[in-house]
Structure 1
Amino acid sequence: MKIIHAKDYADMSRKAANIISAQVILKPDCVLGLATGTTPIGAYHQLIDWYKKGDVDFSQVKTYNLDEYRGLTHEDPQSYHYFMNKEFFSGINIDLANTHVPDGANPDAEAACKAYDKMVADAGYPDLQLLGIGRNGHIGFNEPADAFSKGTHCVDLTESTIEANSRLFEKEEDVPRQAYTMGVQTIMNARMILMVANGKNKAQAVHDMCFGPVAPSCPASILQLHANCVVVADDEALSLCEGQY
């Protein structure tokens, strides 16, 4: 696991965008695994700026998002499909037919998850998987549990995750209680993993991810076992890791 220290959120976003753009430049038809939430927005906006300057071309890229709320259609303004179009895809030259998000509108959880697993496997898994980390150490929507998950599955969201995500909704009661998410094993199949983290509220999770025991009580800790994992985090997120890297 390689840790890259960023000064602040803007610096973290630029450094992460540099790594993503390098992947696209080196392999124009690469497969990107993408994440939602507020942490990666800065990196997405930086990539849009570089695309507009002609520095990076997304026309051949394929993307697979980590997760989607169960019960939301692609057109729902609170869906992750809508989020990705708004914050990233609408600003670059990606073919929307090459962008993929789990089908939250499918009420058959088993069928929806199995179909998404097959799509990701058929694509050969991501060349680069972008991740954020939850305050409880979750990646995707893989919450702390007794065992690491495998393929895409339906999860019940914890109260801390619901509370953290409520900032994107009008009120906390509007946050869906379930989601479809790639499993830990699927995430680990990516050839490179890029974790981004910022803020004091992520400091304990970042420490446990990088230096704690590898245990499903902190799902992100499994990344210690990945052959090519890069963590880009700011001063505050790394505040409990001083002297350890």
Structure 2
Amino acid sequence: MAPTRKRTKTAHSDDRGASVLLADYRTAWLLASDEPSAKIICKNETFKVHMSVIKQHSEYFDTCINKPFAEADGVVQFDDIEPRYMAFYLGVAYSYSSILPHTPPAPSENPEAKAVRTPLRDFIEVYKLCDRFMSAQMGDFMLKCIRTSIGDGHRALFRSAADKDQQKALMRDFADGYEALEQGHAVQRELSERIIEYFVEGVSYDAWDEYMEEVMNRPMFVAQVSKGFARKLAEALAARHKVKRKELGGP
């Protein structure tokens, strides 16, 4: 079975780079079938999906559709979910219903040479939906994607200190991912700590000094990076050695 189809492009669609790993609803379609379907409405976007797919991979949707709730008519509506991320979530659900094996991406040997990367925030937003909709298997998969993406981003930062554009792009990627996390959630708090650690150890100090304006509108990220640098400086002073970056291991 295939993922959902988006009707028309709307104001909620954006021009950011496409996700490489996640299936985008703008290029997805729904197989003609007599199988019962449900409608998921996010803001002004409507997704028509096979009930068997969302019930199989989500305890939340299984309960909504099978129990005598308002959603039992096959329509579930959300006003707080961006269509882009619901579409990615549904794309992962459909991919889990295919006959193809589903494995997370392996760490890249040369992440600094990759021309296109899936935005870290996309992985995080889909993970948050997996957690919200009680999609445990999909959530575990997305966590592996997130950790691989953080590791790849760290190594790309570490190895591309002289590449102005890449340093800026990776700063924005780490910042957007961090800001999307919910600190009250234990797993997401652990991810936020990993993002800061891997960013602080990877980013060029000169690049941060020169380009940090790129992320000044992500205040929580900037504050935590500042704490990370202060911690490194305190450790260096205590040990009486120079502050040095270090390339960290994989996920």
Identify the TM-score tier after normalising by the shorter chain.
under 0.3
Greater fraction helix? 2
Question: TM-score under structure 2 normalisation?
Answer: 0.28
TM normalised by structure 1 equals 0.28
Choose 1 or 2 for highest CA Rg.
2
